[in-house]
Amino acid sequence: MKDKNPANISFKNSKPYSKQFDDIYYSYGDGVEESNFVFFDNNDLPNKWNSWNKSHFVIGETGFGTGLNFLLALKKFKEYIKQNNQKVLKKLFFISFEKYPLSLNDLELIYKDSDLKDLASELIENYPCKTNGCHRLKFFDSKVILDLWIGDIHDSLSSICNFQNGFVDTWFLDGFSPNKNKDMWSKDLFKKLNSLSNQHASFSTFTASSFVRRNLEECNFEIKKVKGFRNKREMLTGKIKNKYISEKSTNEFTWPLLETREVALIGGGLSSILLAKLLVNNGIKTTIYTENSTLATGASGNSQGVVYPLISPSNDILTNFFISAFSFSSNEIKRTLKNDKESYKTCGVLQIDCPSRSTKKIENFDCDESIKINLSEKQTNLTTGLDINQKSIFYPGGLWVSPKNWIASILLNLKTSKLFTVKYNKKISSIEYLNPNDIRLKSDNNTNFHHEACIFTCGPYIKNFSQLENIPICPVRGQISLISPKYIATKEDSYKIQYNKINHVLCYDGYITPPDPRSGYQSLGASYKRNNLNTSYSEKEHSENLNSIIQSIPNVNWDNYFENKIKDYNVGIRATSRDHFPFIGPLLNNLPYDKNIASNFYPNIFLFTGLGSRGLTSGPLLAEIMVSTILGEPIPCELNLLKKIFPNRKWLKMISKNL
C-alpha cells in the first residue's frame, strides 16, 4: 500500500528540519562529525570489524531519516574491505526503519554540496518507492546491503523473520528527540530490539534522557553514560545484558539452514542462474544440472520479457511483495547490463483496459505514482501516440529485457569462479536422500552424482520426482511470436524507414513490445495453455497472439504497425500456482506429518519453483529471500510472505489451526 506519511521538511541554514516533529535531523554544526562520534566511535566501529569472526556484520537503525548513518557506514566498509580483503568479514547489512521517508528531491538537495555526494547519488539512484514493507538495495558489488523498512517501526519489527533468535550486532538508536516522539523510545520498541539482537550486541544514542535510560534498563540493556558530542554533556551507550529468548512451540513456523558449503541446482533456467550467482558470491560451491546443451532455454530463452509489478488490490501481501520485487529486479537488471544498454529499455508499460482484462480494481488501488499512474483515454493516446481510445494503467518504470542476454551477462562472471560448474545434457530423473550430507542424483542413463545439498529449480518438471509429486504446480505452455514492424521504403529504396512505431510495452490479454534494437523484431505473446508440456511450434497459437491484440485494442489498425507473418518463435512452460504465490523453501519428507515442524524437513533439500509468468519481476528478490534465509542472514521480507511461499503451506495452515 502507498505510504501515507511522507516526510514534511523545510531547510534551516541549509540543513533539513522536520515540521512533523519540530526537530532537526542532525546537528547544524556538522552532522557527519556528530554521527561519527555518536554511532561509530561509541560502538567501536570500524575497529570491531578487524576481529569479527563471522562473514557478515549487521547494523540496525531505528530511524533512516536522511540516510546519513547509512552513507557513512557504506564509506567506512568500503575502506575496510580495501584494506582487509583477506579477513573473514565480507559483507555489511544495514537494516533501517522509516515511517516518514524523504522524497528524492529532498535527498538531492541535502547532498548536492556534501562530501558524501557520490555515495548519496548511488542511494538516490536505487531509492525505492515510498511503499510500506522491506526494500532491499545493494551497493559496493553486493558487499553492502541496505534493507529499508518503510512504515511504522513497531509493525515492521513485529513482522521481521527472526529464526536465529537475534542477528543484529549493533544498534544506532536514532530518532527525533524523545520528548517529541516518545513512541520511538518506548519499552515495547526496546523489547523488540532486544529480541532481534545477538547476545553481544551494542548500542548507542545521542540522548541521555532518563525516560530512555529507564526503558532500556527495563528491557535488559546495560547502560553507560558517556560524554556527548561537543557541547552536549552526556549520551547513552551500552550492550545487551540479558536476551529475551522466547520459548518456541514445536509447531512454530521455521526454516532450516543450509548445513553445508556445496549445492546442486536441478534445472537450467533463470531461477538456477539467479540462485547460483548468490550462492557462489557467498563462497558456496554450486553445480547446475540441465538436460539441455545450453542454459536458459524455454521461457528463460525469450528474446524479450516484460518487467512490471503485479497489483492485486484484494491481496496486500502479494501486491506489496511485487512492488518491492519490481524495484529490486529493475535495479538488478540495470546493474548487470550497465555495459549492454541494448538488452533492456525502461520504456514504460501500459496495461490497457479491455473487456477480457479490466483495470478498474487496479485504478482504485492507492499507490505511489512512481509505480503506477491512471490514464484516461485521451492520456493513453497522448502517451502512446496511438489512437487506442481506452483507459490504461501506466507503469512508468516498467521495462523490457532480453532474458537471454541478462542470463549471459550473469554467466560471464560466474564462469570465472572455481566454485561454479555446469553439467550439460544431464537429465536428473530421481534423487535419493541417503543422509544429511549425501544426496544421490540419478540421471536418465543411470549415472549417479553425489552432493551435500540440492535445490529443485526445474519449474513444472518437479512433478517427475517422487518427493515433489504432491506440490500443486500447474504447467502452462506459452508461445511467443516474433514479428517484424512494418516498414515503407524510400524512393531510392536504399534503406527502410519504420512506418509506425510502438514505443511502450502494451499489455492487454497478451502483450506487445517495442522492437528489439538488435534483431529488429517485436515480441507478441503469449499463449496460455494449461497442463500442456508440448514445446513444438503452433500456428494456431500464433494466430491467437495476433487476434488477441486486434480484439483487445480494436481501434488501432494493426496492419499498419507490423507484419502478420511470424519471423521466429519461442515456447516456454511456466510453473504456476492457484494462489499466485511461488513454492520456495525447505522440502518436507513424505513421512506422516508430525506437528513438530522442524522434524519434517529433509536437511539440505530445498525447492524454488512456481514463479509463473512474472518470474523476471519476482525472481531476483525471491532468490535473495531464499539464499538469505538458508544462510542465516537478514531476510528481506515479512514473515507472512515466507508463510505464503512455503511449499507445504496447506499443511502449515492445518497445523496453525491445530487440526
| Rg from Cα positions in the chain | 26
Q: Average pLDDT for consecutive 10-residue bins of the chain (659 residues)?
A: 63 68 64 94 97 96 95 98 91 96 90 92 93 95 97 96 92 85 92 95 95 96 94 93 67 82 96 98 97 88 94 90 96 96 97 85 88 96 96 97 96 96 96 90 93 95 88 94 80 56 94 94 94 95 95 93 90 93 87 58 92 96 98 96 89 61
Burial of 120 (0-12, 13-18, 19+ CB in 10 A): buried
The grid cell for 380 is 493513453
Nearest to 71 by CA among 153, 208, 172: 172
Q: What is the DSSP string of 126-142?
A: HPPPSBSEEEEEEETTT
Q: Which grid coordinates belong to 257?
A: 539452514
User: What's the DSSP call for residue 179?
Assistant: T
Domain boundary assignment for the chain? 9-19+27-240, 262-297+405-472+578-656, 349-396+476-576
CB 527 within 8 A of CB 542: no
Q: What is the DSSP string of 476-524?
A: EEEEEEEE-B-EEE-SS-SSEEESS---SEEESSSEE-PPPTTT--EEE
For position 250, what pLDDT does the model report?
A: 47
CATH code for the structural domain at 9-19+27-240: 3.40.50.150
Note the pTM of the prediction, 2 decimals.
0.94
Q: Please answer whether residues 456 and 463 qualify as being in contact, where contact means their C-beta atoms are separated by less than 8 angstroms.
A: no
How many whole angstroms separate alpha carbon 234 and alpha carbon 218? Answer: 20
CB 203 within 8 A of CB 173: yes
Torsion of CA 55, 633, 625, 408, to 10 degrees: 0
Computed from CA positions of residues 637, 178, 106, 6, in that sequence, does the dihedral angle turn out positive or negative? positive
Q: What is the DSSP string of 320-343?
A: HHHHHHHHHHHHHHHHHTTT-GGG
Query: 262-297+405-472+578-656: which CATH topology?
Result: FAD/NAD(P)-binding domain (3.50.50)
CA dihedral 178, 184, 186, 189 (to 10 degrees): -160
pLDDT of 489 reads 58
Cβ neighbours around 486 below 10 Å, total: 17
Closest of 411, 405, 324 to residue 618, by C-alpha: 324
Class of domain 349-396+476-576: alpha beta
- The span from the CA of 408 to the CA of 333, in Å, is 12
At 493 the pLDDT is 53
The per-residue pLDDT for 16 is 72
What lies within 8 Å, CB to CB, of 363 at 6+ separation is 374, 391, 393
Contact of 107 with 127, CB cutoff 8 Å? yes
Nearby residues of 582 by Cβ (< 8 Å), 6 or more positions away: 608, 609, 610, 611, 612, 618, 622, 645
For residues 603 and 580, give the distance between their C-alpha atoms in angstroms, rounded to a whole number: 27
Nearby residues of 355 by Cβ (< 8 Å), 6 or more positions away: 552
According to DSSP, residue 300 is labeled: G
Q: For the beta carbon of residue 597, count every other beta carbon within 10 angstroms.
A: 24
Please give the C-alpha separations between residue 502 and each of 227, 258, 295, 513, 521, in angstroms, as whole numbers.
64, 47, 31, 7, 12
**Across the strands, what pairs with 393?**
351, 374
**Distance, CA of 171 to CA of 461 (rounded, Å):** 45
